[in-house]
Copies of this chain bind each other. A is one copy, B any other.
Amino acid sequence: MFTFKTIKKSKNSRARLGIITTPHGKINTPNISIIGTKGAIRGISFKKARKFGAQIFMINTFHFFHNNRFKIVKKFGGLHKFLGVDYPLMTDSGGFQVFSLGFGKEQGVGKIASIFPEESKNSISGAKFKNKNLVKIYEDGVEFISPYNGDRMFLSPSKSIMIQKILGADIIFTFDECTSPLADYEYTKLAMKRTHRWAIKCLETFRKSKNQVLFGIVQGGQYEDLRKESAKFINSLPFFGFGIGGSLGKTKKDMIKVLDWTITNLDENKPRHLLGIGEVDDIFNAIEQGVDLFDCVIPTRWARHGTAFTYQGRLNLKKSKLLSDKKPIDPKCSCEVCKRYSRAYVCHLLKEKEIYGIMLLVEHNVFWILKLFKEIRRALREEKFEVLKRTIIRKYQT
């Protein structure tokens, strides 16, 4: 039921067009997985995103694990039925959230407040657990304290895969140790080796399945020899595709190098997913390195903070001067929001903290990013990728 085919390769880079076929439909690559963290996109329906051209959605295993909600999903026969959708879905392993709890608290990186933006206001995470060692890593898994209720919990490679099998997404990921950008060489190496042993455990638990495929995650941080070693090791195992996880270095240029070290050591007949990356300039640079799939919270998170994608760069719609701006959010955008509403109206709603303001902005941003990927695929077909990149990227270089 699952296949991956490369349709066309760019003459100028490792960028390529491909098609992933799943039991719930195909995904034209390069593409982006729209995030539905807890089983819903924050502001629009899956159906609407699908209408805009979304071909795959990412649900976070952690948010169905910590509260045992996966047991409810099991009664429904999986996420597709629970969410009422028949589109391709992917789940991550829960590892990123668990390890972020660790290095977030210890090193002040990737703070809980940004990992759990909604909950941090109401939960005890922010205050109670400050400076506590939230995460303990063992050979067979990770013990951590729930940021929601303080419960001691345990997640392991086999447990993550068992939960992901219950959730039943089309594409699932191995449970890896996601290291901090501040981790040193020695620690990154140690964690990478453990991630490799866990990858084997995940494969053992996963076995073959007609309804799901497993992507193995490459680690190794920003260290050349580790990234290469990890890519070669994960490449040697029978995964359907690859995830590229962990620290990609300290600068955007580092990311390009890390992707180069990684992807040149991966089987080109398998799809490559870059986990959690999605700034506009990063997308173009990563596609040039050979990345096929992305997932990123930016379209919805920016919307919640009042920021829109536009072809002229990002636009902060909370600025008071926009209150009398009759133009649409993006005059070059053809979404319903831009056809129907002014910046003034959206700005008014955001200032008044109206939920509908966020709904409009999420709709625009999701439409916009999906449209960008359609343009990227067309540009690759027509050998115009570099032109498109130059046009768009200078508005988004950060």
A residues neighboring B (CB under 8 Å):
38-43, 45, 63, 69, 72, 75-76, 82-84, 118-119, 122, 323-324, 326, 340-342, 344-345, 348-349, 352-359
Docked CA distance A72–B345 (Å)? 9
Extra inter-chain contacts (9) besides given A72-B323, A122-B353, CB under 8 Å: A38-B349, A39-B348, A40-B349, A42-B356, A43-B356, A45-B356, A45-B359, A82-B348, A355-B355
Contact (Cβ within 8 A) A355 B43 = yes
Known: A63-B352, A323-B72, A348-B69. A340 touches B39 (CB 8 A): no
Asked if B355 and A324 sit within 8 Å, CB to CB, the answer is: no
Residues of B within 8 A of A69 (CB): 323, 348
Q: Which residues of B contact A76 (CB under 8 A)?
A: 326, 342, 344
Question: B residues within 8 A CB of A358?
Answer: 355
What are the residues of chain B within 8 A of A348 when measuring CB–CB? 38-39, 69, 72, 82
B356 touches A72 (CB 8 A): no
A357 to B36: give the CA distance in the assembly, Å.
13
CB distance B72 to A40 under 8 Å? no
Complex alpha-carbon distance, A42 and B41, angstroms: 17
Chain B residues with Cβ below 8 Å from A63 are 352
27 CB < 8 A contacts A-B: A38-B348, A38-B352, A38-B354, A39-B348, A39-B354, A40-B349, A40-B357, A42-B354, A42-B355, A42-B356, A45-B359, A69-B323, A72-B344, A72-B348, A76-B326, A76-B344, A82-B342, A82-B344, A82-B345, A82-B348, A84-B340, A84-B342, A84-B345, A118-B353, A119-B353, A355-B358, A359-B359
Q: Give Cα A358–Cα B72 distance, bound, in whole angstroms.
A: 20
A43 contact set on B, CB distance < 8 A: 355-356, 359
**Cα(A353)–Cα(B118), bound, Å:** 8
Q: Which of B39, B326, B357 contacts A349 (CB 8 A)?
A: B39
- Bound CA span A63–B84, Å: 38
- B359 A39 Cβ-Cβ under 8 A: no
Chain B residues, CB < 8 A from A354: 38-40, 42
> Is the pair A341, B42 in contact by a Cβ cutoff of 8 Å?
no
Nearest B residue (CB) for A47: B340
Cβ-defined contact, A356 with B83, below 8 A: no
> Chain B residues with Cβ under 8 A from A353's Cβ?
118-119, 122
Q: Cβ of A119: which chain B residues have Cβ within 8 Å of it?
A: 353
Please give me the residue from chain B that is nearest to A300 by CB atom: B355
Question: What is the bound-complex CA distance between A69 and B75, given in angstroms?
Answer: 50
Residues of B within 8 A of A352 (CB): 38-39, 63
Q: How far is the CB of A94 from chain B (nearest CB, A)?
A: 16
Given A39-B349, A72-B324, answer yes or no on A84-B341 (Cβ-Cβ < 8 Å): yes
Q: Which residues of B contact A38 (CB under 8 A)?
A: 348-349, 352, 354
Q: How far is the CB of A273 from chain B (nearest CB, A)?
A: 25
